[in-house]
């Protein structure tokens, strides 16, 4: 599935590309309004992530034109504009969803998947791997016959690991996906939360790949 990201901040574009490609999407990008509008008309584009403050053509105007050209194309606005007025105005203009920066990537990913899910197809509520089951509704993990409560960040970190079974995920990738692209790159927060998860789930289930990152393994 092809997602078009229309965003003029290169750092955010690169962050979204990495995260969406890791989630299995094909990503196309545009850095200004006119290019974004032209690209959004291509038939293979299935969803647009749209910034509002764009050079050449404002996101609001792009959205209005796109609704005439491709009325059924899902559009998720991703912007720093956080007023109720902006939210209401863009939703009434045809945006399918509205996400404010700074944002959590996993939340944005869930919104993208929800918009692309065929009608009537339920969202998966259980993730499993390495002897762990995770209920994404209750945020409870099950290890054998033991139920484990998780904090918000622990849940986010475990969810990313479970969605990439057997794959080594770089520390920087985990930090970006759980804490966001603007989080302090020098922080050891990922290592700290890996320790928390190991204490709760069993140390043998999360393998350290030295110099690279972490992956879930069967204990």
pLDDT given for residue 122 in this prediction:
54
How far is 130 from 151, CA to CA, in rounded Å? Answer: 20
pLDDT digits (tens, 9 = 90+) for 1-45: 789 999 999 999 999 999 998 888 989 999 999 999 999 988 889
Same domain, yes or no: 209 and 155: yes
How far is 176 from 218, CA to CA, in rounded Å? Answer: 25
Count how many Cα atoms sit within 13 Å of the Cα of residue 67 in the half-sphere of its side chain: 15
pTM confidence score: 0.61
Q: What percent of the chain has pLDDT over 70?
A: 93
Q: Is 125 helix (H, G, I), strand (E, B) or coil?
A: coil
Q: What confidence tier does 198 reach under pLDDT thresholds 50, 70, 90? A: very high
Looking at residue 211, which CATH number applies to its domain?
1.10.10.10
Count how many Cα atoms sit within 13 Å of the Cα of residue 132 in the half-sphere of its side chain: 32
**What is the domain count for the chain?**
2
pLDDT digits (tens, 9 = 90+) for 139-193: 789 998 899 988 878 888 898 898 887 889 888 888 877 877 666 776 788 999 9
Residue 159 belongs to what domain range?
126-216
121 occurs within a structural domain: no
Q: Which of 56, 90, 116 is the last residue of a domain?
A: 116
Same domain, yes or no: 139 and 184: yes
55 occurs within a structural domain: yes
How far is 150 from 73, CA to CA, in rounded Å? Answer: 36
68 occurs within a structural domain: yes
Sheet of 140-143, strands arranged across: 126-129, 132-135, 140-143, 146-149
pLDDT, mean of residues 95-121 = 83
């Amino acid at each position: 599935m092809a997602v078009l990201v229309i965003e003029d901040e290169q750092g955010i574009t690169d962050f979204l590309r990495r995260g969406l490609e890791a989630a299995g999407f094909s990503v196309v990008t545009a850095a200004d309004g006119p290019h974004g509008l032209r690209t959004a008309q291509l038939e293979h584009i299935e969803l647009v992530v749209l910034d509002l403050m764009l050079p050449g053509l404002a996101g609001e105007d792009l959205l209005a034109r796109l609704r005439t050209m491709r009325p059924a194309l899902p559009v998720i606005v991703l912007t720093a504009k956080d007023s109720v007025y902006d939210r209401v105005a863009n939703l009434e203009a045809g945006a399918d969803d509205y996400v404010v920066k700074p944002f959590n990537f996993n939340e944005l990913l869930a919104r993208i998947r929800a918009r692309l899910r065929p009608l009537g197809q339920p969202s998966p509520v259980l993730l499993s791997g390495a002897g762990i089951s995770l209920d994404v509704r209750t945020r409870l993990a099950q290890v054998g016959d033991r139920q484990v409560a998780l904090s918000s960040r622990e849940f986010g970190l475990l969810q990313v690991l479970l969605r990439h079974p057997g794959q080594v995920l770089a520390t920087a990738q985990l930090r970006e996906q759980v804490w966001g692209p603007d989080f302090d790159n020098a922080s050891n927060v990922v290592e700290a939360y890996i320790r928390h998860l190991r204490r709760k789930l069993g140390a043998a289930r999360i393998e350290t790949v030295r110099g690279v990152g972490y992956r879930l393994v069967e204990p």
